[in-house]
Amino acid sequence: MGKWLLCMLLPAAFFAATSLVWAGQASSLDPDLIRQELERLRVLYSDEHPDVILLQRKLEKAEELKRLRQGPPKKSPDQEPSSAP
């Protein structure tokens, strides 16, 4: 019974450890890292899984923060209003 239990728990422990490593990377605000982790979770879980929902929200916030950091889009000379009558 002991060997069977060990064989069952060892893969689960490995999966939990690798998930923590990925979660640590996804905790950054880099949308690309979060997107990669989200894709990985979607292979394992449905879109209704709490971890997928949480990471989707985190991705949306990270993308919004990235847009805010970049500032407003710069206007090209073609887009500026002309002052000529």
What was the pLDDT predicted at 6?
Answer: 57
Q: Is the pTM higher than 0.95?
A: no
Query: Quick one: average pLDDT of 5-15?
Result: 60
What was the pLDDT predicted at 61?
Answer: 95
Could you say which DSSP state residue 28 is in?
S
What was the pLDDT predicted at 26?
Answer: 47
| Per-residue CA distances from 6 to 3, 15, 16, 20 (Å) | 5, 14, 15, 21
| Interatomic CA distance for residues 41 and 49, integer angstroms | 9
Number of CB atoms found within 10 A of residue 84's CB: 4
What was the pLDDT predicted at 39?
Answer: 96
Q: Which one is predicted more confidently, 33 or 19?
A: 33
Express each pLDDT in 21-78 by its tens digit: 555 544 578 999 999 999 999 999 999 999 999 999 999 999 999 999 888 777 766 6
